[in-house]
Amino acid sequence: MTSILGIFLLIFREVPESMGGIVYGIQMLSVQPDTKPKGCAGCNRKIKDRYLLKALDKYWHEDCLKCACCDCRLGEVGSTLYTKANLILCRRDYLRLFGVTGNCAACSKLIPAFEMVMRAKDNVYHLDCFACQLCNQRFCVGDKFFLKNNMILCQTDYEEGLMKEGYAPQVR
């Protein structure tokens, strides 16, 4: 007879469609001495430890359930994990890669999991979309850009707007 004692449980919930990912709960389970060892989804070895993790309907060694980006142990950093494009991620890296919505702030299209991005405050952009939103000037490394109402502006458009309207976006 197998018996596993649950220490805590979070039921998975779907993230809004706009995020394009799913949040899952992580269960930490105490393995009872009379339990037949389960196979780890990460390394395919038998789990003979005192504790194991259950996530994505699979069992894991505590060391094997890690974020694909930062390699942190997901059982230690929280009780949830995020999945998108076959990646298992911690919350911090999911938000860093895909932003709050998972969409580009300029074109509103979905940002694929492996695409390089640019960030400005809480906004995430495709590389091709990270340009002045008035004149479409692309930025090079080290160029100044300005934000006004979440619009990216080049220095010329910022200064022209400043003279006309008197607005003061945040310098980045």
Per-residue pLDDT tens over the stretch 57-71: 899 999 999 999 899
Q: What tokens does 143 get?
A: 């160029």
Range of the domain at 114: 101-171
The neighbour count for residue 86, using CB atoms within 10 Å, is 7
More confident residue, 172 or 89: 89
Same domain, 91 and 106: no
Alpha-carbon Rg for the chain in angstroms: 22
* Residue at which a domain ends, from 80, 97, 114: 97
pTM: 0.51
Same domain, 124 and 85: no
Look over the chain and give the mean of its residue pLDDT values, rounded to a whole number: 76
Supply the CATH number for residue 84's domain: 2.10.110.10
What is the number of structural domains in the chain? 2
The neighbour count for residue 10, using CB atoms within 10 Å, is 14
* Residue at which a domain ends, from 97, 117, 136: 97
pLDDT of residue 170: 53
* Residue at which a domain ends, from 97, 128, 143: 97
Q: Which of 63, 34, 66, 33 is nearest to 50 (CA)?
A: 33
Q: Indicate the DSSP class of residue 50.
A: S
Tens digits of residue pLDDT in 110-150: 877 667 788 787 788 888 888 998 999 988 777 888 888 77
Same domain, 30 and 89: yes
Same domain, 125 and 85: no
Same domain, 30 and 54: yes
Average pLDDT value for residue range 1-17: 27
Same domain, 88 and 29: yes
Contact 31, 47 (CB under 8 A): yes
